Structure 1
Amino acid sequence: MGCSASSSLKDQKSETVMQAALKIQNWYRGYRVRLKARQCHALSIFQSIEYADEQGQLQLSNFFSFMLENYTQVCDKDSGLVTRLVGSTIQDYKNRQDCVGLIEVPDSYNGTRLHFPLTCTDLYLLIEAFKQQQILHAYYVLEVLFETKKVLKRMPNFNHIKTSPSKEITICGDLHGKLDDLFLIFYKNGLPSENNPYVFNGDFVDRGKNSIEILMILFVSFLVYPNNLHLNRGNHEDFMMNFRYGFTNEVLHKYKMKSVLMPPVPLGEDHNTALGKNKVPQGVKTNESPSEQLTKHEWEQVIDILWSDPRGRKGCYPNISRGGGCYFGPDITSQILNKYQLKMLIRSHECKPEGYEICHDGKVVTIFSASNYYEEGSNRGAYIRVGYGTAPRFYQYQVTRATCSRPLYHRVNIMESSAIRMLKERIISRKTDLINAFQLQDCNKSGKLSVGQWASSMEVVLDLNLPWRSLSFHLVTRDKDGNIDYMSSFQDIRIKNPVKEALSTLIETVYRYRSDLQIIFNVIDSDHSGLISMEEFRSMWKLFKSHYSIHIDDSQIDELANRMDLNKDGSIDFNEFLKAFNVVHKFDKLNKSDTKLT
């Protein structure tokens, strides 16, 4: 009987332990699910804001067309502006020697010295130099660029690549200036060679800090192995994108060169171009023949190829998130693949949490090779190996930094904080519009809205497809009944006010369009002094206001400009002008202290 009681007690203890283990397991699973949901929400914020910015970039392209058509009517004094916009800059150097011959490599230069024709030794030396954070001399950069251009112009637009049972092809997606990702790919998968061919699917530059280094490695690899390394163009291989997303600034910083930030735009009379239908102003000559200029239909095809994304819904419809290209459904994919007797489309262009995604019944694969794209720990990178008669194999990785080795909850906290910070900056830039929308819903003038009313107002004004109800816990305060104090949407953040008397609508407008304005005013800064004359400022603002349908009285911007002309010399330091419109986060100093502690 004693044995029986002892056995029963053991069984009870075992059952208790099992129940406890199950509870812990269930709690942990729920905890992981909640963390993943927070991570997903943060990624959706990053992506929504990214796509909204790309809409602005396409709108800016349209503005330049508008400016070409109208600027001379507004400001006849600066006829040279139009020449700068559509005339020649880098194309003035017709041949290689005229350009490269202007640069000498001093004896004191101890970096990599490339020897043409290039060999695999040059590639090895270049990679090792970049690992040591050396800067390749401008002379060799230009030599590589000219040589690459010469070889590319001899090649067709579409490349046909063959595989065999013993020879696979590696396909990489967006790199976006993330040099460590490229190093990791080469470490895991080997350098390009005749027996190890690669396809790089565009978006080599912008956002990251090492776009030049990535271009140089890829171009040198291409010149050494022209039949075994293939480069496709992405939507960031475009000078207008480079203005906003960092590549232009990287070049200017690393090579101390200043140039008009508007490359030559070939325009012909009654000819459609990427900037619209324009006529070349009298006296302006173009460098490209009509056969090298795009028709409107060809330009639209290029935009569709570079900007479109797959979606689950059938059909083909406008890509409203990006503002360019289209969404295409599984039926469109099947039609195209059947028409051209293809099995699969491997594309890039979209960040995916795991580095890749398969959709449309396995017929479309998105590959993205820049890990930690939005924030450290935000996503993995991946590449694909494709062989004869075998299914594609995916290889994932993530460049390790301090945050990546921390627990998941810590990485999610960092991602979430960064995403919420970006979203708050978006919110404060539309403060006046949001307040108007809130007050329309607030019939009782209580200062409170239901979660649904607040969420719908945010969606309408900001035009971001986000889970606003879930995000409300991070953005606003609620009362005991669950109603939202809608003015708390703007807590802990403000836009610097350069002039106390300036209207909030004007401050918000300048802040909202600050990136566009910086690009535009860099274009008209003909002597690269960083100073803009008051007359140029007024003329360009009037055009900008007209094109973007901004309802602000000219007297307000005139008064603001006069107040920003501190020494009253009739000009404005425009970079300093824009700094006066930066956002201030209340807890910036506290966050920096927290970061150091963690």
Structure 2
Amino acid sequence: MNIQDLEDMGCGTSSATKDKKSGKALKAALVIQNWYRTYRDRLKTRQRYALTIFQSIEYADEQGQLQLSNFFSFMLENYTRVQEKEPGLVTRLFGSSIQDKDRQDYLGLIEVPDSYCGPRLQFPLTFTDIDLLIEGFKQQQILHAYYVLEVLFETKKVLQQMPNFTHTSTSPSKEITICGDLHGKLDDLFLIFYKNGLPSVNNPYVFNGDFVDRGKNSMEILMILFVSFLVYPNDLHLNRGNHEDFMMNMRYGFTKEILHKYKMRSVLMPPIPMDGDPAEKKNKLGTTIVAQGIRTTGSFSELLTKQEWEQVVDILWSDPRGKRGCYPNTNRGGGCYFGPDITAKILNKYQLKMLVRSHECKPEGYEICHDGKVITVFSASNYYEEGSNRGAYIRMSSGTTPQFFQYQITRATCFRPLYQRVNAIESSAIRMLKERMISRKTDLTRAFQLQDRNKSGKLSMGQWAFSMENVLGLNLPWRSLSSHLVTKDKDGNIDYMSGFQDVHIQKPVKEVQSTLIETVYRYRSDLQIIFNIIDSDHSGLISMEEFRSMWKLFKSHYSVHIDDSQFDELAERMDLNKDGSIDFNEFLKAFYVVHKFDKLNKSDNKLA
């Protein structure tokens, strides 16, 4: 019996019905599929916008960091005048305080008590010490300061014997693993080692810098990498990133982490009392070593020349872009952007095939550009916020294409639906953006009012976006973000003051003018770094005279237009016990942003 016979017997009706139902089911499936794809694309777009906010604010802060370095250059250029007023100030800012010949003197200040139950390293170091260190850090143990100093001194000694550029070779049977920024994300390093194996002669690694800052475990990452380097100096390569820098560490968290874990100003610069100066020496973990004077070595002639400094900044801060040529890196404020033609020129000049670099967070953990000749790898997952990005590392060998391995450290929130995760990331990004807006409220209001010729309190979308971009200097999709920042009327006009209704800076003193509050808040990180450096006795207290004189220098260099009497009045009010000194870190904590409510939280349960 064939198909025609079945149709003649009446079976064809059933088949047609089934085909019709199958067609409807297929159409329904396609509709649902298209809807889901559109829905998912919208969520991805929102996530991408949130990442753009995070990155734009990050780069704007880095501009501030480089501007701060210009401030110190300004002080150095005016050395004679500053030296007359503050004889010890320039030495504290620019002097060196560490000598190799005093290694035992430093280590002699500290002893390891019998009660210490963390990792105990044995020198010369072996593979066992790497394993011991990793297991100890997994148990959240803190490596004793004595071992930290030993590792630092030994690492410095080995590095000084090596060239600035190191060479390594691979073969079809021997691959090399390249990792990007880790930024104190210890769990990411653990995951890389779990998936890819520990460093060894047969498993070499290159780490592309930015080991520290932002994350909570910069010291642990540094110790693991340094110990691994000391065990395998020819098979583990450590490139310097822009965060391997004392000033960056003061802003982005590594210095604070050291102070928290070791209660010293820095284990990198142990204080040594000058001859005849009283000093308090204690040698147990967690105690303070205080010195009223600091022995410094070196001279200003040993500092980098301006040309050398610019070369270092270019190497550490530059980024690839699609546009041809080489032009200023306006986002970061330092280094340059280089196009595909520049990449091709340099690779051809030095007979290279590819550049593998880091320095930029990428949503997928890596990115390929410049016709496949430039690869960016970024190994810190969840860099801005949990769920914000994946991490990655690369395996390469001779004659093969690079292999990319992606991952993302998961917490409980990562198991939530995608829209909830995107809402959380977006909410955090908008909060940061609102805080940036409130720190420039006076400037934004002035810019809005200049555009608002009719004094209606409203602007067109274009006028509002122009003002936001012009004042904040953040290259963001303002039109798309407007629904999260301001309210609009039925005609699409923006109530520009509505952006400040749900957020304000807490005033430590009610009578203080808003302009001064905004200025102190905007420059709080810079001011904290400056005043921590000039806190000569590391007491956390600064004399009122130092407070005033440094503010005047800062105000002059940054072109801040605020009457000195306003700042003096604020300082006097913050000197609560009237002892002529001020706890500047506590002073800054008095300035914080208050979010009255978060509109985005109301939509957590809504589908995008």
TM-score of the two chains, using structure 1 as the length reference: 0.92
Alignment of 1:220 onto 2:227: yes
* Residue of structure 2 aligned with 1:256, choices 260, 263, 275: 263
Cα distance in structure 2, aligned partners of 1:388 and 1:93: 40
Q: 2:64 corresponds to which residue?
A: 56
Q: 1:28 corresponds to which residue?
A: 36
1:324 partner SS: coil
- CA separation of 1:3 and 1:166: change in aligned 2, threshold 3 A: closer
Residue 175 of structure 1 and its aligned partner are, at CA, apart by: 0.4
Alignment of 1:467 onto 2:477: yes
* Residue of structure 2 aligned with 1:134, choices 127, 134, 141: 141
Q: 1:122 corresponds to which residue?
A: 129
Residue 80 of structure 1 aligns to which amino acid in structure 2?
A: G
Cα distance in structure 2, aligned partners of 1:288 and 1:400: 47
Residue 288 of structure 1 and its aligned partner are, at CA, apart by: 3.8
- CA separation of 1:41 and 1:453: change in aligned 2, threshold 3 A: same
Residue 260 of structure 1 and its aligned partner are, at CA, apart by: 11
Q: Structure 1 stretch 289-298 or stretch 251-260: which is displaced more?
A: 289-298
Residue 121 of structure 1 aligns to which amino acid in structure 2?
A: T
Q: 2:91 corresponds to which residue?
A: 83
Residue 327 of structure 2 aligns to which amino acid in structure 1?
A: Y
Cα distance in structure 1, aligned partners of 2:371 and 2:27: 41
1:95 partner SS: helix
Q: 1:298 corresponds to which residue?
A: 308
Q: 2:525 corresponds to which residue?
A: 515
Cα distance in structure 2, aligned partners of 1:540 and 1:367: 41
Cα distance in structure 2, aligned partners of 1:94 and 1:64: 29
Q: 2:47 corresponds to which residue?
A: 39
Cα distance in structure 2, aligned partners of 1:85 and 1:6: 89
Residue 220 of structure 1 aligns to which amino acid in structure 2?
A: V
Cα distance in structure 1, aligned partners of 2:355 and 2:401: 13
Does structure 1 retain, via aligned residues, the 8 Å contact 2:206–2:237?
A: yes
Residue 406 of structure 1 and its aligned partner are, at CA, apart by: 2.0
* Residue of structure 1 aligned with 2:343, choices 329, 333, 338: 333
Q: Structure 1 stretch 582-591 or stretch 45-54: which is displaced more?
A: 582-591
Alignment of 1:146 onto 2:153: yes
Residue 294 of structure 1 and its aligned partner are, at CA, apart by: 2.4
* Residue of structure 2 aligned with 1:575, choices 585, 590, 607: 585
Residue 74 of structure 1 and its aligned partner are, at CA, apart by: 6.7
- CA separation of 1:412 and 1:462: change in aligned 2, threshold 3 A: same
* Residue of structure 2 aligned with 1:449, choices 424, 442, 459: 459
Cα distance in structure 2, aligned partners of 1:590 and 1:440: 30
Residue 286 of structure 1 and its aligned partner are, at CA, apart by: 6.6
Cα distance in structure 2, aligned partners of 1:263 and 1:474: 48
* Residue of structure 1 aligned with 2:551, choices 512, 526, 541: 541
Q: Structure 1 stretch 397-406 or stretch 367-376: which is displaced more?
A: 397-406
Does structure 2 retain, via aligned residues, the 8 Å contact 1:261–1:523?
A: no
Over residues 55-103 of structure 1, what are the superposed CA-to-partner deviations in whole Å (9 max), with x where a residue is unaligned? 00011111122234558747956422223223343x1563311111211
Q: 2:278 corresponds to which residue?
A: none
Residue 523 of structure 1 and its aligned partner are, at CA, apart by: 1.4
Q: 1:273 corresponds to which residue?
A: none
Residue 489 of structure 2 aligns to which amino acid in structure 1?
A: D
1:94 partner SS: helix
Q: 1:240 corresponds to which residue?
A: 247
1:213 partner SS: helix
Cα distance in structure 1, aligned partners of 2:563 and 2:537: 30
- CA separation of 1:332 and 1:263: change in aligned 2, threshold 3 A: farther
Cα distance in structure 1, aligned partners of 2:32 and 2:216: 43
Q: 2:491 corresponds to which residue?
A: 481
Q: 1:111 corresponds to which residue?
A: 118
1:532 partner SS: strand
Residue 527 of structure 1 and its aligned partner are, at CA, apart by: 2.0
2:131 partner SS: helix
Which residues in structure 2 correspond to 1:160-559 (within 5 Å)? Answer: 160-258=167-265, 287-288=297-298, 293-559=303-569
Does structure 2 retain, via aligned residues, the 8 Å contact 1:84–1:260?
A: no
* Residue of structure 2 aligned with 1:65, choices 66, 73, 84: 73
Residue 544 of structure 1 and its aligned partner are, at CA, apart by: 0.6
Does structure 1 retain, via aligned residues, the 8 Å contact 2:83–2:90?
A: no
Cα distance in structure 1, aligned partners of 2:90 and 2:270: 12
2:168 partner SS: coil
- CA separation of 1:398 and 1:464: change in aligned 2, threshold 3 A: same
1:508 partner SS: helix
Residue 391 of structure 1 and its aligned partner are, at CA, apart by: 0.7
Does structure 2 retain, via aligned residues, the 8 Å contact 1:85–1:263?
A: no
2:101 partner SS: coil
- CA separation of 1:348 and 1:419: change in aligned 2, threshold 3 A: same
Q: 1:280 corresponds to which residue?
A: none
Residue 320 of structure 2 aligns to which amino acid in structure 1?
A: P
Does structure 2 retain, via aligned residues, the 8 Å contact 1:352–1:368?
A: yes
Does structure 2 retain, via aligned residues, the 8 Å contact 1:84–1:262?
A: no
Cα distance in structure 2, aligned partners of 1:422 and 1:67: 32
Over residues 264-302 of structure 1, what are the superposed CA-to-partner deviations in whole Å (9 max), with x where a residue is unaligned? 9xxxxxxxxxxxxxxxxxxx9973478964222222111
1:299 partner SS: helix
Cα distance in structure 1, aligned partners of 2:305 and 2:584: 36
Over residues 442-483 of structure 1, what are the superposed CA-to-partner deviations in whole Å (9 max), with x where a residue is unaligned? 111111111111111100000000000000011111111111
Cα distance in structure 2, aligned partners of 1:499 and 1:541: 19
2:152 partner SS: helix
Cα distance in structure 2, aligned partners of 1:515 and 1:261: 22
Residue 32 of structure 2 aligns to which amino acid in structure 1?
A: I
Residue 498 of structure 1 aligns to which amino acid in structure 2?
A: P
Cα distance in structure 1, aligned partners of 2:476 and 2:402: 33
Does structure 1 retain, via aligned residues, the 8 Å contact 2:75–2:82?
A: no
Over residues 228-268 of structure 1, what are the superposed CA-to-partner deviations in whole Å (9 max), with x where a residue is unaligned? 0010000000001000000000011100113599999xxxx
Residue 178 of structure 1 and its aligned partner are, at CA, apart by: 0.4
Over residues 367-425 of structure 1, what are the superposed CA-to-partner deviations in whole Å (9 max), with x where a residue is unaligned? 00000100111111111111111111111111111122222212111110110010000
Residue 558 of structure 1 and its aligned partner are, at CA, apart by: 1.2
- CA separation of 1:228 and 1:534: change in aligned 2, threshold 3 A: same
Does structure 1 retain, via aligned residues, the 8 Å contact 2:206–2:239?
A: yes
Residue 538 of structure 1 and its aligned partner are, at CA, apart by: 1.1
Residue 15 of structure 1 aligns to which amino acid in structure 2?
A: G
Cα distance in structure 2, aligned partners of 1:464 and 1:152: 39
Cα distance in structure 1, aligned partners of 2:426 and 2:600: 17
Residue 305 of structure 1 aligns to which amino acid in structure 2?
A: I
Q: 1:268 corresponds to which residue?
A: none
Cα distance in structure 2, aligned partners of 1:232 and 1:75: 36
Q: 2:107 corresponds to which residue?
A: 100
Alignment of 1:561 onto 2:577: no
Over residues 472-518 of structure 1, what are the superposed CA-to-partner deviations in whole Å (9 max), with x where a residue is unaligned? 01111111111111111112110001121211111100000001111
Residue 16 of structure 1 and its aligned partner are, at CA, apart by: 2.1
Residue 407 of structure 1 aligns to which amino acid in structure 2?
A: P
Does structure 2 retain, via aligned residues, the 8 Å contact 1:35–1:412?
A: yes
- CA separation of 1:572 and 1:467: change in aligned 2, threshold 3 A: same
Cα distance in structure 2, aligned partners of 1:329 and 1:258: 42
Query: What are structure 1's unaligned runs of at least 5 residues?
Result: 265-283
Cα distance in structure 2, aligned partners of 1:60 and 1:375: 27
Residue 343 of structure 2 aligns to which amino acid in structure 1?
A: T
